[in-house]
Structure 1
Amino acid sequence: PDELRITVVERVPAGWARRDPGHVAVVDGTGRVIADAAAPPAGLPEVVGLTGLPELGGRIAPAVATRLLEQLPTELRDRVGSVVVMGGVAALRLVEGVEVRLGPAVDVATKGRTTLAVLTTLGDAPISYIDVRVPGAPVTG
């Protein structure tokens, strides 16, 4: 009872959102704005479609945009250039330009594994999108 224990947990950047042409907000996996920067951090996806961008310490809306990134397999997450969540529907844009249509942000890990399987199967075949809204029946175009 005479002891106070404090645990510090570092917040890890998960993505970024543009404030204006010269500033971005860096957000963690919970959607909390953890830093402001002059340029996007290398290797992190852009979060698009936010209803507002709070000041440092606030949470983005919808926060599901960054939470779903944490559910993706690492191999896929490393290829995400941007994530969009609008009206409860999520999509990714991979750095190579392919759009991944996730649909509702549920069963994201399975949809991510399905996306990787499709990308592996197709190899270098040119595609513009992969639709994994129904993970058991992916569609490409």
Structure 2
Amino acid sequence: MSAEIVVNRKAFRDYHILEKLEAGIELKGTEVKSIRLGHVNLQGAFARLDGGEIFLYDSDIQPYLRASHEQHEPKRRRRLLLHRLEIDKVAGAIEQAGRTLVALRMYWKKGRVKVELGLGKGKQDVDKRADLKKRVQEREIDRVLAGIQRKR
């Protein structure tokens, strides 16, 4: 059972997702409380290899208002928790031209916050238009089929 916290829909629009990967994330206590309230945004969030570890950048976790003296930085880099073999595999995949790690969604799993990363390749504007056209055609086909079934 996983309860979704937030989904980065823009990532699916801007990237061809080639592979998905689950990672834990290192958080402070005030960040967890803020996530429980839903004050998190993954739009524009990406992961990068730095010093043999993978870090999540530009994920926006708003400060927890009821925190006492210690507050967290909203857009600080956060370490992702992966096994060494996974890190090595991802490092090899990222080094290919045009590939990046994009944060797709954040969710709860057994009381822990997990981040789903996608190994993505950027879409061109032509690809985005083709995807939009394909969705419109599928929607029209579904509408026609639903009309035919209603008449029976």
**TM-score if structure 1 supplies the norm length?**
0.28
Q: Which structure dedicates a bigger proportion of its chain to helix?
A: 2
Larger radius of gyration: 2
TM-score normalized with structure 2 length: 0.27
More strand by share: 2
